[in-house]
Amino acid sequence: MKLTLRFVLLVAALLLAVAASATAGWSALGRLDAALDGVVKSDMERLLAITHSRRLFRSMVVLERDYLLSTSAQERQGMDKKQGTAAKELLEQIEKYAKLMPSADRQAVADIRGARERWLLLNTRVRNAAKAGEPNAVPLSTEHAKDPVSWEGVIGKLVKANEQRLGEQVKKTHATYENARRTLLGVSVAAALLAAGFGTVIFLGIRRTMREVTDLNQNLEGLVKVRTQALAERERSLRLVLDSTGDGIIGVRGDGMLAGDSSAAAARWFGEARAGVSAAAYFFPTDEDRQAAFEMGLEQLFSDVFPWDAAVEQLPRRIEREGLFLELSYRQVANDTSDVSLLVLVRDVTERVQSERAEQDAREQQTLVAKLLSDKQGFSAFVADAERLIQSFDAETDSITVKRNLHTLKGNVAIYGLASVARACHAVEDRMAESGDLPDAVDVAALAGLFRAKLTSIETFLSSLDESVFEVKSDEHAALVSSLMERKDYQEILRMVEVWTWSRTAEHLTRLRGQVEHVAKRLGKAVKVEVEHNDLRLPATYLQSFWPTLVHVVRNAVDHGIEDARLRGERGKPAEGHITLRTWQTDTQICIEVADDGGGIDVEAVREKALANGLELPPESQLAELVLADGFSTRSDVTDLSGRGVGLSATAEACRAEGGRLEIHNDIGLGVRFVFRFRRPVVKTGALAAKLERRWSLSPAKASA
């Protein structure tokens, strides 16, 4: 008999034994359930119904007595209600008993119904007499006891009869249980004997077959040796193919350790892949943080908690090692015969990375040249301000000031297309956020070197910068000629010409408009920018530390203020957002405004964030000003645009440093306006001023609209 057939017979015998036991048990449980059902659903419910009827009769008697003794109309009204409820419930219990009673109790139930009707009739007479104050109320109540059929006697007999029936049913149920247990025990013993008999016979057959298998295995050992040699030869051939590709291939086990096999390229880049060595330590021998991240990524990958495609994305894709850029990819190994669970494929992409960086450098160089040619004075101011901010990292020890300056530098270089410098600033911000320390000398030197290298690449164009050349519009020149021909006052003409040396606010607003358009394009938002400069000019040195920080306000206006097109549609707004950049002057003030038609500052979100950060809440009208606090942001995530809470605080601090004042006009759902007010500069035309080359001053500070 074949081994498979014997095994099938053994399983069939066991299943038959189990089926017999289960069938006997099911039948026994069915009989027991029927018996218990008779006890619970018939005898117990019948006993409870008649017992409850007796309790209700007694309750009505007590209520009638209390009714006679009570003199309060309000109490009697409550007793009437209880009496009616008890009478209704008594009828329900009698009817319930009638449905369950045996035929022998039919006359007794009829007597109880009659006693209930007569009692209720007399009770009505008693209560009416008591209400009327008649003296025969008490004698009437004694007539209940003269009823020819006493409900107490009838119910008492029924209670005893049902208790006796319940006892008999319990005995029958116990007898059913004993019979079922004996039946189940007999069937189980018979099934066990059957299974044991079949199992013994089949086991002996299986043991005989195993001896035959052992003999056959000895004959196969020779064949296995031959097969092993063939596989080894195949592995050597495969290894030769892998080595010839020039790519690195490393096997990783399911426990995160190397499987001990790799291609020649992998050994050249990372060293010999010894079995049992941590894969994280193999790829990142000197970086403990990246080791920990790689180990965590492998753990998620092998745990099968997340889908493979999602988990593998957490693993690094590129390694920089000894001047080489190595690209990593991962392949799952679904093979139970191998201890390799993951193949890490490594490819040298140094040439491609260098080519991409060269292209990026060329793009940034082109953007810088375009910015320089379109606005030489603005470019010169940008370079000077960037150098000032970079140098401040060495001298400044206040972390808040460093964060502000670093965030400002990141925004300014982004305006001028230096994405690589902006990314470097963002990386330094991340390291500061993680460690809480100031940038070290290495970070500062790398940042400065990268920025200056970008400027060096356009050195030929930088040599054309000449700060002694001033641009004059045709209408300004015409105004001067007209003044000379009209022989206007010398001081007035001198002031007009002196203003030509001042820079136009239009140039600053144009740069900010470029930043708005850049951020809007990145975020996929349609934004229209309106510039209103009012032909205003300011001294080149006036507000020079403030203008660069204004980039944070316009970036926030696009990122935080302007809603996406869907939400704007729901709020009844056009899909295209609107941002206004405006400068104007009064008799004593220079005003700079950034306004948007977005959702405004969410004061409730500001309040919740402030409470979460343990900040003291200002008055309701000043809640929006909390966005100017250092480190305050309603964003939960940090991006290269926002989320660190230092941008607006840097702008507010620069405004205060220049003696200015910031106003926030918040209209929830409609937008927000940031208005910066500074003292207006005026031309000094006196001889002493000219001699000392101090040709302008600030107007006296006073209140102004």
d(CA 463, CA 41): 107
Backbone angles phi and psi of 5, in degrees to 5:
-65, -40
CA nearest 644: which of 658, 622, 629? 629
Strands (E), 586-651: 589-596
Return the ∠ at Cα 520 (arms to 514 and 525), rounded to 5°: 145
- Is residue 93 a contact partner of residue 53, using CB atoms and an 8 Å limit? yes
- Is residue 405 a contact partner of residue 387, using CB atoms and an 8 Å limit? no
d(CA 239, CA 266): 12
| CA 705 to mean position of chain CA atoms | 47
CA distances from 34 to 31, 173, 176, 329 (A): 5, 9, 10, 68
CA distances from 267 to 208, 262, 323, 346 (A): 53, 7, 16, 11
Strands (E), 503-576: 503-504, 527-532, 537-538
CB-based burial, 51-65: b 16+ in 10 Å, e otherwise: bbbbebbebbbebbe
d(CA 653, CA 549): 9
Q: Which residue, chain included where needed, has tokens 């319990």?
A: 170
d(CA 315, CA 673): 44
Give the residues of the chain that fall short of pLDDT 70.
1-3, 5-7, 10, 13, 24, 28-29, 31-33, 35-41, 145, 148-149, 198, 218-219, 221-246, 261, 334-338, 373-378, 459-501, 618, 620-624, 631-646, 683-697, 701-705
CA nearest 167: which of 46, 41, 50, 43? 43
**Cβ of 600: how many Cβ atoms within 10 Å?**
19
Q: What 3-state class would DSSP assign to 320?
A: strand
- Is residue 557 a contact partner of residue 563, using CB atoms and an 8 Å limit? no
CA distances from 650 to 401, 548, 551 (A): 8, 10, 10
CA nearest 127: which of 90, 83, 86? 83
Specify the pLDDT at position 703.
47
Query: For the chain, what percentages of helix, strand and coil (3-state, to nearest 5) are there?
Result: 65, 10, 25
State which H helix or E strand residue 253 sits in.
Answer: strand 248-253
Query: What is the signed CA dihedral for 429, 435, 436, 440, rounded to 10 degrees?
Result: -70
**Terminal CA-CA length for the chain:** 110
- The two structure tokens encoding residue 57: 């009769």
Q: Tell me the residue type at 115.
A: A
What letter would DSSP give residue 634? Answer: S
Specify the pLDDT at position 429.
80
| CA 568 to mean position of chain CA atoms | 24
Specify the pLDDT at position 479.
62
d(CA 17, CA 201): 16
CA nearest 595: which of 521, 675, 651, 519? 675
Long-range contacts of 566-573 (CB under 8 A, 24+ apart): 567/599, 571/599, 571/669, 573/597
**Cβ of 126: how many Cβ atoms within 10 Å?**
24
pLDDT digits (tens, 9 = 90+) for 622-651: 666 777 777 666 665 555 555 455 678 888
| CA 548 to mean position of chain CA atoms | 35
Return the ∠ at Cα 253 (arms to 251 and 258), rounded to 5°: 55
**Cβ of 516: how many Cβ atoms within 10 Å?**
25
Residue by residue, DSSP assigns 290-310 as HHHHHHHHHHHHHH-SS-HHH
CA nearest 329: which of 349, 355, 299, 306? 349
**Can you give the pTM of this predicted structure?**
0.42
Backbone angles phi and psi of 294, in degrees to 5:
-70, -40
CA distances from 560 to 82, 411, 582, 672 (A): 68, 16, 20, 11
Backbone angles phi and psi of 135, in degrees to 5:
-75, -15
CA distances from 302 to 249, 317, 342 (A): 19, 18, 9
**Cβ of 305: how many Cβ atoms within 10 Å?**
10
Contacting residues for 434 by C-beta, under 8 A, at least 6 apart: none
Specify the pLDDT at position 394.
74
d(CA 125, CA 130): 9
Specify the pLDDT at position 676.
95
Specify the pLDDT at position 463.
56
d(CA 344, CA 251): 6
Specify the pLDDT at position 575.
92
